[in-house]
Amino acid sequence: MTRGLLIVDVQNDFTEGGALACSGGGQVARDISEHLRRFGDDYACVVASRDWHNADGDNGGHFAATPDFVDSWPVHCVAGTEGAEFHPDLDTSALTAEVRKGQGKPDYSAFQGVDEQHRLLLEVLRDAEVHELDVVGIATDHCVRASALAALSLGFKVRVLSDLCAGVAPESSAAALDELEEAGAEIEYVGVA
């Protein structure tokens, strides 16, 4: 079976110093890059997603002046800003595609994103004949979780590489990994560092 790698939202605003920083985000960028150096040839395609929010408006209630950190958040990953850029330690040279999500609405799953040709992530993966998907990135307890659950629901064999993910909080990240395992994902520690 053909395997792909999905790198979820490894962006400046989700790493140290960003608007919604996850502890360990910068290290995850470096570790994903090392994983690609070691195992990049194992993947038929490498796709990265990015939050890419509109500068105007609240993006469907996603942005709020007093966020609840469940359904609403501080302003982050606004299209064209430094916060929306990939973390500088993420090696993007291996990317075969990029999808952008959250353009005016609160998207969490990378499968809600589209590439430059307006193809959904599902189409990108189907075109590459991917059946197995490794999922890594930020945040374990939000967009990684949502993306992996979507992949499972679409029939992909999913493996979450847990040490190549960073979450908002240890408890919610552990709960997300348990939920994903119960839903049928493999949770694997690859030990890159």
Residues with active-site annotation = 9, 101, 143
**Burial category of 125 from C-beta neighbours within 10 Å (exposed 0-12, middle 13-18, buried 19 and up):** buried
Q: HEC states along 139-176? A: CHHHHHHHHHHHHHHCCCEEEEEEEEEECCCHHHHHHH
Question: Residue 160 and residue 89: Cα distance in Å, rounded?
Answer: 21
